[in-house]
Structure 1
């Protein structure tokens, strides 16, 4: 990481000396590149991947001390594809996070493009040592992305009291864009984390307004999907087991996920995983198992298996090897997803078996 510390006057800002305060900006990033081999439907694919275990990204975090226990804070984070240098996601410059806020005795409030309480729980309980919620994690294969990150949002995190931390978020979805239903994508979410010693547990609720079809107009009717997420983990000396269980309801009439209209079918999914650490020097093994259940049709069910070995070469650099398989029923098309987005495409009813070898460097 690279830090710059400078008085505001050095930036050309004219103000009375009494308002000058300590300010800092940190540049950081993660680079992840891998070679992946996969077989699906009798077809073999070998390719170079970016963002397999950890989303490849760079960002800026800033803090200004305002005095009295208060600080102004911001974060800008860009995801990109290391194998070809292009911007990932929707092509926006800061497509992962972009927010500004205030931190103080009341907690922290921030406005912009934020992660929901659900994402915080996904990332906390879908384990890994080089990064969480990555290649091989069952939850990573089944998470619906619009429920994890929301633009035009306000996020609040409370102080921790008696082991409890409250997280809340409200987002204006498409933010009144012309040609779209006025409430499309509107999101409200709340989550509660409890931590004591080596034990941690979360419970989250999120509701999101969606349209059942990919093609929408201002007159398209919208409905409210509801997500419930529960998770827990305990860190023993040599192993950390964790479990996540998600329930999504009110997605009637939606047969497949449609990110552009925030639509996801009614479903359940779970992941049971364990991170086995202290294997030799700086080594760990992740074991993951999970299943997805489509409520309207059992033919949309899926099962995920994952095994990942991670070795820390240094404080900032690690390498990994992995094996994963996703077995789909006739109406399911889940794949082994990368941490930064979808993996190799799978047709409905096909299975995928994959292996990977890669490197992660943090700066």
Structure 2
């Protein structure tokens, strides 16, 4: 690697920490009327090998909008309607901090645009909203940008669904149930999802999801996931949590293959302001040698309650003609290494 690499490695190891928070980390408020403006401003300096622009393949040094926590601006609020019923809404847009441009040129509120009701029956929302996988899987898979949803068959593990209705049940002894239906309207095809999650405040959390999508050409794709997380007893060395997730994708598209993905990881918090994570993630395309896998060491060090330094070391391997990537368009059989360090501020 070029001179940039050891410099970033040193900075990464000095600041190495990680917080495995979901891309959509948020919760709809309840209570009296009010609107909150919130957001994230984050960027990363990145060195990436085997970067392909479709014509050339080579190393690249880049200033990027952060993958760990995408920059965003949002508005969230609620109104107490009485009798235990509240109206809720959320509008959220993504933007690229390095350029100032919207992350989606055709949808201003590409990360969320929903309205709904919350009461003793649970919460019902309609609009563009995060899928049920994104809601619960951040405890079982990497959700800090360099994650399993970067694999081409598993993007739906963290995605928004337009024209959708979503239901989230009350918490029954730590168990919540979620369901989503996307009408598609000749744009994305119909989507139906179901999720169940157990999180009672103890060391063990478990969840599972199922999704089926019929595209506008009538082809169906199924996606199922299961995961668990366990917090180990605290020690003088800090706090430890282990997690694991399994995902299975079955598309009907011509030429497609059933594919499985695995994520096994450890999160270590030696101090209250420091988190370090190590994950191994593998993608197994059934019936072919075109598999992929990567190891990620990531971290986050909090300079204050709102501001943190983030760092990542990633080694991605492609077998056969697999062309998975974190940056660029991908190149058949080419591995990719990423070293990044960045700054994130939440407001």
Superposition TM-score tier, normalisation by shorter sequence: 0.7 to 0.9
Q: Distance in 2 between matches of 1:146 and 1:230?
A: 14
What's the offset of the Cα at 1:330? 2.4
Q: Distance in 2 between matches of 1:225 and 1:172?
A: 15
2:339 aligned with 1:328: no
1:315/1:321 Cα in 2 relative to 1: closer, same or farther (>3 Å)? same
CA distance in 1, matches of 2:222, 2:151: 20
Paired with 2:310 and 2:38, the residues of 1 have a C-alpha distance of 21
Question: How many Å separate the matches in 1 of 2:252 and 2:274?
Answer: 42
Structure 2 counterpart of 1:145: 155
Q: 2:41 matched to 1:26? A: no
- In the other structure, the counterpart of 2:292 is 302
Compute the displacement of 1:119 (Å).
1.8
CA-CA distance at 1:281 after TM superposition: 5.3
Secondary structure in 2 matching 1:192: strand
Task: Report the Cα distance in structure 2 between the residues aligned to 1:143 and 1:176, rounded to whole angstroms.
Answer: 21
Moved over 6 A (4+): none
Deviations 1:129-188 (A, max 9, x none): xxxx12443454466335632100000000011221000000012x146xxxxxx52000
Structure 1: tracts of 5 or more residues without a match: 1-20, 128-132, 178-183, 212-220, 256-264, 337-342
Change (3 A) 1:331 1:251: farther
2-structure distance, mates of 1:315, 1:62: 22
Q: How does 1:17-56 map to 2 (within 5 A)?
A: 22-40=32-50, 43-56=58-71
Higher RCO (CA 8 Å, separation ≥ 6 residues): 2
C-alpha distance in 1, partners of 2:196/2:210?
9
> Displacement of 1:297 after TM fit?
1.8
Q: Please name the residue that 1:245 is paired with.
A: 246
CA contact 2:191–2:211 (8 Å) conserved in 1: yes
TM-score by length of 2: 0.83
- Decide whether the 8 Å contact of 2:43 with 2:344 is kept in 1: yes
Q: 8 Å contact 1:136–1:308 — kept in the other structure? A: no
Q: Does 1:271 find its partner at 2:268?
A: no
Cα distance in structure 2, aligned partners of 1:70 and 1:248: 38
CA distances 1:18-55 after superposition (whole Å, capped 9, x unpaired): xxx94100000011101000111771100001022101
Q: Which residue does the alignment assign to 1:192?
A: 196
Q: C-alpha distance in 1, partners of 2:268/2:300?
A: 10
Aligned to 1:17: none
Name the residue aligned to 1:232.
228
Larger radius of gyration: 1
Distance 1:192 1:281, change over 3 A: closer
Aligned length: 305
Deviations 1:59-118 (A, max 9, x none): 000100001111000000000100001111353100011100000000000000011111
Matches of 2:148 and 2:118 in 1, distance apart? Answer: 34
| Contact 1:25 1:61 (C-alpha < 8 Å) held by counterparts | yes
Root-mean-square deviation (CA), in Å?
Answer: 1.9
Per the TM alignment, residue 195 of structure 1 is displaced from its structure 2 partner at its CA by 1.8
Q: Structure 1 residues 280, 360: closer, same or farther in 2, change over 3 A?
A: same
- Equivalent-residue separation in structure 2 for 1:247 and 1:85 (angstroms): 36
From the superposition, tell whether residues 88 and 143 of structure 1 become closer, same or farther in structure 2 (CA, over 3 Å).
farther
For residues 155 and 66 of structure 1, the distance between their equivalents in structure 2, rounded to whole angstroms, comes to 20
| Equivalent residue number for residue 58 of structure 1 | 73
Contact 2:310 2:341 in 1 (8 A): yes
- The Cα of 1:224 is off from its aligned counterpart by 1.4
Conserved? CA contact 2:167–2:179, under 8 Å: yes
Specify the alignment match of 1:93 in structure 2.
108
Whether the aligned pair in 2 keeps the contact of 1:320 and 1:358 (CA below 8 Å) is: yes
Closer, same or farther: CA 23–226 of 1 in aligned 2, 3 Å: same
